[in-house]
Chain A
């Protein structure tokens, strides 16, 4: 008996810039892209048919010498990209680097 190998195809779109893409990866996964409507930040794409809002949250705390994520266009500090769906909310947290600088110069 011959069994057909079925390809797993997922179609994605971005609710902000309308970019579309297709993946054939098996198992749960997320597609990211540098979204021009989010100043070039890496933002998740959504499976076609999923209604959601994707937006970036600027860091409102003092940055000081923290190595934070900046949006590539405006150079504003970003702490989170949030995806709000009808049935939940995803988040990408941008963790700063902890820096220890022992230079004397």
Chain B
């Protein structure tokens, strides 16, 4: 089992948005970024329920966190934006930094971005996952710096 090397938007999430099965609101909902090691195997085509935090590849056994420095279940994305410009729709947020200066987490391979507001039909449904490569912090600070293109983009 391994995280893989890809960054993907979940297909089920796009389907659920278009079918109004899950009422995502990228302008007002609270989204979180959670850290994962190399134990789970994310799938872009996972069923809606299996994209959620603490389900499938995203169970807490695969998650990395460090008490108050980087809380279990992840940190809330600050200043999220959801913008359409010409033919590209972009979801972005401010870079996320651990709270203190003494975080210790070994072998982080990627992150899950999920909707922390959504409660039904799937609570904490995932939006996308991003592969970051093997990263370790020891008694220090972790910063997740999102790409200049955003967290995810949809090009039409």
Contacts and interface: CB of A to CB of B under 8 A. Distances in A.
B133 A57 contact: yes
A90 B89 CA distance: 33
Interface stretch (B5-13, B22-30, B45-53): B5-13
A103 B154 CA distance: 10
Given A68-B147, A79-B132, A95-B147, A100 B152 contact: yes
Contact of A67 (B104, B144, B149): B149
B138 A89 contact: yes
Given A57-B133, A85-B140, A93 B108 contact: yes
Interface residues of A, number: 34
A59 B133 contact: yes
A62 B129 CA distance: 17
A97 interface: yes
B111 interface: yes
B153 interface: yes
Contacts of A68: 147
A91 B142 contact: yes
Contacts of B130: 95-98
Contacts, number: 123
Interface residues of B, number: 42
A96 to B, nearest CB: 4
Given A93-B144, A97-B146, 16 more contacts: A30-B97, A67-B149, A67-B153, A88-B102, A88-B138, A88-B140, A89-B139, A91-B142, A93-B145, A94-B132, A95-B145, A97-B7, A98-B7, A98-B153, A102-B154, A102-B155
17 contacts: A30-B141, A66-B6, A67-B153, A68-B147, A69-B147, A69-B148, A80-B132, A88-B139, A90-B141, A91-B135, A96-B131, A97-B147, A97-B149, A97-B153, A98-B152, A99-B9, A99-B155
Interface of A: 28, 30, 42, 57, 59-62, 64, 66-69, 79-80, 83, 85, 87-103
Interface of B: 5-9, 14, 87, 97, 100-102, 104, 108, 111, 128-133, 135-156
